[in-house]
Amino acid sequence: MATPRADSYVAASGAAVYAGRSAPSTMPAWLAGKPLNEFFQIANTSVMASGARAECFSGMALKETAGSAVGVVAASGGHNDSGDNRVVAIDLMVDVPGWTVRKPASPVIVKESEYNPNGWPAARHLYWNCTYVPSLDRVMLIGGFSIYANNSNTSNVDGFNLNDNTWDGVVPDNPGASGSGYPDTHASVGNMTGAILNSTTSEVWCVANYFQLWKWSPVTGLMTQTYSGGVELSGPGCWDTNRNQLVLLGGTDGSSIVRASIFNAAGTSRTALTFNPSSAHSALAAAGMATGNLVYDDVGDRFYFFRANEGSGGRVYVITPNAGSTWDIALLTQGAGTQVPPSTGADNYTYSRFRYVKALNGLLYVPASAVANQNCYFMRLR
């Protein structure tokens, strides 16, 4: 398959046009003039500069509104990695971005507790479970895996308000008061490690217990099981907004991609997703998907999958969808000037720290920083 093209040109007026729409009106200085399809570092954007640690199992939410693109890491850590439950964020639309602390860590950290004494939720492994829900204007943690400092899970639901930097609660941020004010998830989905947003409805789709699909409603705060079948379901996944369907990339058996799925908008009907043979397909199947992330570019109508700990600095795969259920996979050919993101094994598991940023027409990767002080990486697509 041909390398994805830039999808950009210059109009008669002299203005740049990106895939048939105008370029961002406020192109930040750090992005201006950067070549296409090349990873580069955004200077001075290490998460560690904020005092936080993006653990290898941490994820990131992305809030995109008019003129704003804010990445958020909340209550990252968990298990034996860290009990630090601070919330940090980075605004990518400013000329000189940097991480800021929106909420410091709880002054007293209690092990094996879903909430610390001041009522803030405990650190946990986020994986893909850190999601901005537009209708609530909240970063939501729906259930949780590996609460600090053991492997216990939580079925609690918590929301963080980026406007006043508070955790929702029965009494928000009241020391000694625990409980989020949201109903718990069904006990059986407490081990859920992924959350996939339908940005149109603000519903969040969750894979749990390997064979079940659940829907979380921002209206009721309740979970509803929509599917249970004999085929194991696994992430990563994302919402295909052009075809209004859920895509799960699934797992591998070492020679091919198996368990990849397409679900209808109601989450009740599964279609097996298969791929045309290619060298990229073989490479992806051999590498596996368990620690990477799948994102959807609705402008270019293509998916991108990235694992930072694959090869010498990771590979970006391009998946081209169609109206059917057999799609193409290719490796993205990067420019000669690309800067290779760090690859240090488990310390750079990707999860949802790899994101498509629509406002900036590109791909963001936030390396794990528990061990190394690494800047964020970005790639312009258009």
| Among the listed residues 229, 312, 209, 298, the one whose alpha carbon sits nearest the alpha carbon of residue 21 | 298
- Chain Cα centroid distance, residue 308: 14
Mean of pLDDT values over 85-93: 91
Q: Give residues with Cβ within 8 angstroms of 12, minimum separation 6.
A: none
Mean of pLDDT values over 271-284: 93
Residue with the two structure tokens 């990235």: 306
| pLDDT above 70: residue 16 | no
Distances (CA, A) of 170 to 103, 105, 176, 186: 18, 20, 11, 20
Distances (CA, A) of 152 to 54, 209, 303: 20, 15, 33
Peptide bond into 24 cis (omega under 30): no
- Say which residue, 286 or 198, is predicted with more confidence: 198
The pair of structure tokens assigned to 168 is: 């929702």
| pLDDT above 50: residue 8 | no
| pLDDT above 80: residue 240 | yes
Lowest average pLDDT, out of 22-31, 208-217, 257-266, 292-301, goes to 22-31
- Say which residue, 105 or 254, is predicted with more confidence: 105
Report the CATH number of the 8-380 domain: 2.120.10.80
- How many CA atoms within 13 Å lie on the side-chain side of 365? 34
pLDDT, residue 191, reads 60
Phi-psi domain of 301 (left: phi exceeds 0; alpha: psi -120 through 50; beta: other) = left
Is residue 143 within 8 A of residue 155, CB to CB? The reply is yes
Q: What is the pLDDT of residues 92-116, one digit of tens each?
A: 999 999 999 999 999 999 888 889 8
Mean of pLDDT values over 179-206: 84
Pairing of strands 251-252, 257-258: antiparallel
| pLDDT above 80: residue 287 | no
Across all residues in the chain, what is the average pLDDT?
85
| pLDDT above 70: residue 2 | no
- Say which residue, 33 or 154, is predicted with more confidence: 33
Distances (CA, A) of 192 to 24, 92, 233, 380: 36, 29, 12, 32
Give me the percent of the chain exceeding a pLDDT of 90: 47
- Say which residue, 152 or 238, is predicted with more confidence: 238
pLDDT, residue 98, reads 92
Q: What is the pTM of this model?
A: 0.90
Q: Residue 313 and residue 309: Cα distance in Å, rounded?
A: 6
Distances (CA, A) of 169 to 60, 166, 175, 185: 22, 9, 11, 16
* Torsion sign across C-alpha atoms 376, 235, 151, 189: positive
- Domain locations along the chain: 8-380
Pairing of strands 326-331, 274-275: parallel
Edge-to-edge strand order for the sheet containing 99-103? 61-65, 68-74, 87-91, 99-103
Beta strands in 131-286 (DSSP E): 131-133, 138-144, 154-161, 166-167, 196-198, 203-208, 212-216, 223-228, 237-240, 245-248, 251-252, 257-258, 261-263, 270-272, 274-275
Q: Residue 174 and residue 119: Cα distance in Å, rounded?
A: 6
pLDDT, residue 28, reads 96
Is residue 260 within 8 A of residue 249, CB to CB? The reply is yes
Q: Which of 7-21, 34-48, 318-332 has the highest mean pLDDT?
A: 318-332
Q: Residue 281 and residue 288: Cα distance in Å, rounded?
A: 11
pLDDT, residue 82, reads 83
